[in-house]
Amino acid sequence: MSVVAIDGPSGVGKSSTAKEVARRLGYQYLDTGAMYRAMAWLCLNRGVTDPVDVLEQVRGADLEISLSPDEFFVSVDDIDVTEEIRGEEVSANVQTVSGVIDAREELIEMQRAYITAAPEGIVVEGRDITTVVAPDADVRILMTARDEVRVARRAKEVHGNADAEAIAATQDLVTGRDAKDSATTSFLEAADGVFTLDTSDIDFDQVVETVLQLVKDSQ
């Protein structure tokens, strides 16, 4: 069983790359960020912000996430939240969950269980994947990109374009969250043995091919 771990901040192309690599290899795909988003959605809907209460929500929730790169979904207590967790309000409040250490530990244990149970292989993406969640992964990659590139990509994703207004509306969503998350996670610099892949000036196909070659070289 092979594990491919991909770290990195917002807007570097982690999700699209991880999904395509999983498809090409016939592996499962785990979006750890979606798990935090789902729990943030739950806390928002229940008006929960206190760390003790956040932990209680995480422990008590029935969180289900698809491991298919083609039929991805996330549900909480049998409610499909796949679309809702991508909204701006959830994005701005993920730290409500990710900033609570005990809640992170609960979710990390769930993530490790998914990885261990993968039959053939799995591509895992998010933050702290190469250092905390799967430090013994066969392939460990930190995807990066210049800030202006990341913000423009996320603006297109959220607003449909990257004009000045969209960029301004997206700036804090990207760099602001990075600043918050860097207090509890390490995803901006590669640890020893982690391959740094800068996606600023290469296209999607080149990124995917680079990852596939790293997997091939590890076997």
* Residue 14 assigned to a binding site: yes
| Sheet with 139-144: strands ordered across | 28-31, 121-126, 2-7, 139-144, 195-198
* Residue 15 assigned to a binding site: yes
Neighbours of 44 (CB within 10 A): 18
Q: Which residues make Cβ contacts (< 8 Å) with residue 105, sequence separation at least 6?
A: none
Neighbours of 96 (CB within 10 A): 22
Contact (CB, 8 A) for 58 and 151: no
The whole-angstrom separation of Cα 59 and Cα 70 is 28
* Residue 10 assigned to a binding site: yes
Contact (CB, 8 A) for 32 and 174: no
* Residue 9 assigned to a binding site: yes
* Residue 12 assigned to a binding site: yes
The whole-angstrom separation of Cα 74 and Cα 190 is 29
Q: Is 27 exposed, middle or buried (0-12, 13-18, 19+ CB in 10 A)?
A: buried
* Residue 180 assigned to a binding site: no
The whole-angstrom separation of Cα 203 and Cα 206 is 5
* Residue 16 assigned to a binding site: yes
Binding-site members are 8-16
- Residue ranges of the annotated binding site for ATP are 8-16
